[in-house]
Structure 1
Amino acid sequence: MRLLQALFFPPEQPGGVSSMIPYMQERFQSSRWDMEMFWLPKRIRNKGHEDIRFETFDWTEYGDSPTVQKYIQTYRDYLWWTKLRIQKPYDLIHAHHPIAGLAMKQVFPEVPLIQTIHSSYEKELILNGKIKADGPEHRFLGSLYRELELKSERMLTVSRSFADYLGAYVDHPERIAVTPNGFDEKRFKPVPHENDVPQLITVCRLVPAKGLDILLKACAELKKKGFDYVLHIIGDGPYRTELETLAKQLGIYNETIFYGYTLHPEEFMPFFDIFVLPSRAEAFGSVFAEAALSCLALVGTDVGGIAEQIEDGVNGLLVPPEDYMALGEALEKVITDPLYRYELARSAWDKAKSHYSLTHAVNELKKLYLQYSPVKE
């Protein structure tokens, strides 16, 4: 069976898709399966000039927005690149971004399309202050879900909570299936270690939606109470300068290390003790599964896919979003009690191995793909 995994970002980009799809490829290389990947290179800009039309809505109603114009131009570029580069036919296409799925279906209308929605671009833009709720950009991006529902044979997403979110935008929410991301268990190797000072780590893009301002305030409370710790922030983004300034204002800059973007944080994540990320929204939260496979204690917010990965007090701790005092108290529990911290980490590791391993994800996808296997005469 000839499979195409259609991405938007190149595989080396951070995020859930890049954590899974490149590592799936070797699991599919056999006499029965032939899987390839495709994406839009960063250098491809303003190449496409095709007239864009959708069947379920008129995008030109929102065409005055620069954000919408940029999205449409990227769609044109993806179409242009697809037509230029893909010559041979495939039996099935699995797309991991709305632009990828819509472009593939336009170029190859007879090929079955499975579409996975990994996250909400519009929700992220709203939380990051880039667009307004119910504004033209929000309505445009929300309309794409119904277009994807029409064009794809199967719609998937990565958590039950995000499936519920998508349900408001489509005609048949009951048809959306949930398939969590999978992570190559061979990449994550817990390392026995003892840190005299508890080491906290977070890995994310530095944008307001990730709630790192709340994390810094929580850490300031820990310092006020006299607890020793080091906070390692791995990632980069437009919010970095503000976060560094906030850390200085709160008097915790010396306890905080800003690394910038790192390609493979899983290589040294096992040497830390506690993973913490107080996101304001999260479709799945791939980095929690990665931290669990590294056998770290997990502390997160009770939102989206995070709350589906963590059972509070069993394999991690959950706190309300925006509540830095509650976050500080949760961190205090795992900082002051190493045995409790280990018990949470071990339970998180057990769940991640059984629910979020790449082996499990690949087996589930193979079952799904075989439903669309071409009939041999």
Structure 2
Amino acid sequence: MNILQALFFPPEQPGGVSSMVPYIQERFTKKGWDMELFSLPKRIRGKGTEEVAFSTFDWKRYAGTPVVDKYIQTYKDYLWWTRMRIKKRYDLIHAHHPIAALVMKQLFPDTPLLMTIHSSFERELILNGRIAEGGPEHSFLTSIYRELEDKANQIITVSASFKQYLSDYMQDPDKIGVIPNGFDERRFRPSNHENAVPQLISVCRLVPAKGLDTLLQACSELKRKGHTFVLHLIGDGPSRTELEQMAVDLNIYEETIFYGYMLHPEEFMPFFDIFVLPSRAEAFGSVFAEAALCLLALVGTNVGGIAEQIENGRNGLLVPPGDAHALAGVLEKLMQDPSYRYNLARAARDKAKKTYSMNRVIQQLTKVYEAYRVHA
């Protein structure tokens, strides 16, 4: 069976999806499956000129806004690149981005299309202050879900909470499957270490949706109360300058290290103590499972896929989004009680190994793929 994994970002780009799919390919290749990866290089911009039309809505109603115009141009670029590069047929196409899915179905209408929706672009844009909720860009992006339902043979998402979110925009949400992300234990492994000063780490894109402003405020409160710590922030993004200035203003710049983008944060993660990411929304939150496999205590917000991974008080701690005082309180508790911290981390690792293993993902995907083998 010949399968194409259609990504948007190249595999070397940051993010759980792009970094996870090559490991899926590796596992299936070892099993004797024929699987290839395809993506749009970052340098391909403004090349496509072919007209775009959707079957379930008229996108031109929303034209003239920067987000929509960029989205449509990216669709044209992906279409241009795909026409030029793919000359063979596949038995199944598994897409991991809406543009990839819709382009592939347009060019290969007779090939079964499986679509995994990993996250909500519109929610991220709203939380990052780039579009208004209920505005034309929001309406355009949520209309894409209905188009995907119309075009894809099967839709999968990564958490029950995100399935519930998608159900508001689809006619038959019961057909949405859930396959949580999986992680290769060879990449994320604990390391024995003892830190005299608690080491906190967060790994994410530096944008408002990730709630790092709340984290810095919480850390400022911890310092005012006399606690010592180091906060390691791995990632880059448009909010970096603002966050660095915020750390200065809150008098925690000396305690905070801004690393910028790092290709393999898993090489550093096992040497820290507490993973904390107070996201305002998260479809799944792959980095929590990654941190759990590295035996870190987890602190997150009770939103989306984070709340499905963390059972509060059992394998991590949850706080409301945007609540710096509550966040400072749970961090203080973990910093002061290493035994409690270790017990939470061990429970988190046990759950991650059982629930979010790559083996489990391969088994679930195999069943899905096998259902299309009879059509190959």
Name the aligned partner's letter for residue 35 of structure 1. M
Residue 31 of structure 1, CA deviation: 6.7
Deviation at 1:375, TM superposition (A): 4.6
Gapped regions of structure 1 (runs ≥ 5): none
Task: Tell me which residue corresponds to 1:221.
Answer: 221
2:284 matched residue in structure 1: 284
Partner AA of 1:221 in structure 2: E
CA contact (8 A) 1:102 1:148 kept: yes
Superposed CA offset, 1:161-220 (max 9, x none): 111001101101111111111111111120011000000000000000000000000001
Match of 1:174 in 2: 174
Separation in 2, partners of 1:65, 1:222:
43
Native 8 Å contact 1:187 1:266 kept in 2: yes
C-alpha deviation, 1:296, in angstroms: 0.3
Matched, 1:355 2:350: no
Q: For residue 43 of structure 1, what is the aligned residue in structure 2?
A: 43
Q: d(CA) in 1 for partners of 2:6 and 2:25?
A: 13
Q: Give 1:65's aligned residue.
A: 65
Q: Say if 1:17 and 1:31 are closer, same or farther in 2 by CA, change over 3 A.
A: closer
After TM superposition, the score normalised by the length of structure 1 is 0.98
Quote the RMSD (CA, aligned, Å).
0.9
SS of 1:253's equivalent? coil
Q: What is aligned with 1:149?
A: 149
Q: Encode CA deviations 1:53-72: one digit per residue, 9 max, x unaligned.
A: 00000000001112111100
CA distance in 2, matches of 1:191, 1:308: 26
SS in 2 for 1:275: strand
The superposition leaves residues 267-310 of structure 1 with CA deviations (integer Å, 9 ceiling, x where unpaired) of 11000000000000000000001000111000000000000000
Partner of 1:201: 201
CA 1:125–1:271: 2 relative to 1, 3 Å = same
Alignment partners' CA distance in 2, 1:43 and 1:249: 38
> How big is the shift at 1:374?
3.4
Q: Is residue 92–residue 112 contact of structure 1 (8 Å, CA) maintained in 2?
A: yes
Change (3 A) 1:335 1:2: same
Aligned to 1:127: 127
* Distance in 1 separating the partners of 2:32 and 2:346: 37
**Count of residues in correspondence between the two structures:** 376
Contact 1:16 1:118 in 2 (8 A): no
TM-score of the pair, normalised by structure 2: 0.99
User: Whole-Å Cα distance in 1 between the matches of residues 32 and 208 of structure 2?
Assistant: 45
Structure 2 match to 1:270: 270
Q: Which aligned pairs between 1:1-377 and structure 2 lie closer than 5 A?
A: 1-30=1-30, 32-375=32-375
**Following TM superposition, by how much is the alpha carbon of 1:124 offset from its aligned partner in structure 2, in angstroms?**
0.4
Gaps of 5+ in 2: none
Moved over 3 A (4+): none
- Partner letter of residue 289 of structure 2? A
Q: Is the CA contact 1:281–1:303 (under 8 Å) kept in the aligned structure 2?
A: yes
Question: Once the two structures are aligned, what percentage of the paired residues are identical?
Answer: 68
